[in-house]
Amino acid sequence: MKNHILPVCLLLVPVFALAQEKDYTADVSSIDAIIHAIYDVISGSADEPRDWDRFRHLFTADAKLIPTRKQEGGNVIYRYWSPDDYVKVFTTNRSAFFERELGRTTEEYGNIVHVFSTYETRTNKNGPVTNRGINSFQLLKGKDRYYIMNIFWSAESDGFEVPEKYLKKN
């Protein structure tokens, strides 16, 4: 009986290793890290699965994602999504989406951080730019990490040209 215990234990080690949670600590260790992580996790081809656990880890429990859009006639509308709402929308409407940061303006005070992050979007990783805009991130600086409280964004395709001053990192 004793001779069978070691082989069974060795077989279970890979199972326990797979069951452990991934470590996303590095993603929230700095402003640069959390901004890089959000762009990285949402980007990919239509058939490439996103790491939605990693995505959720970036946010506070009550965070909001707020897309804006200009309607015909000029009225601007917006929506409030929770991180889970965003996941539902993007897993239901799977499409290629590659977003990268072009420029950034950051302001900090106490435990709050505001990041204006100019982005460009492509539907093919090396294809033409299909859109640009600005993501307005409100970050909370916690004891040991950063959290995304809100992302509020507006796209150039709605007729708002990105000013040159937001195309550089400061």
Secondary structure E strands in the chain: 59-70, 76-78, 98-109, 112-122, 129-141, 146-155
> Closest by alpha carbon to 56, among 65, 47, 68?
65
Alpha-carbon gap, residue 134 to 131, rounded angstroms:
10
Query: What is the per-residue pLDDT across 22-77, written as a single tens digit (0 to 9) for each?
Result: 999 999 999 999 999 999 999 999 999 999 999 999 999 999 999 999 888 889 99
Query: What is the per-residue pLDDT across 86-133, written as a single tens digit (0 to 9) for each?
Result: 999 988 877 889 999 999 999 999 999 999 999 999 999 999 999 999
The predicted model scores a pTM of 0.85
> Closest by alpha carbon to 116, among 64, 165, 68?
165
**pLDDT of 162 higher than 60:** yes
Sequence ranges of the domains in the chain = 25-167
Alpha-carbon gap, residue 159 to 133, rounded angstroms:
10
Answer whether CATH 3.10.450.50 is correct for domain 25-167: yes
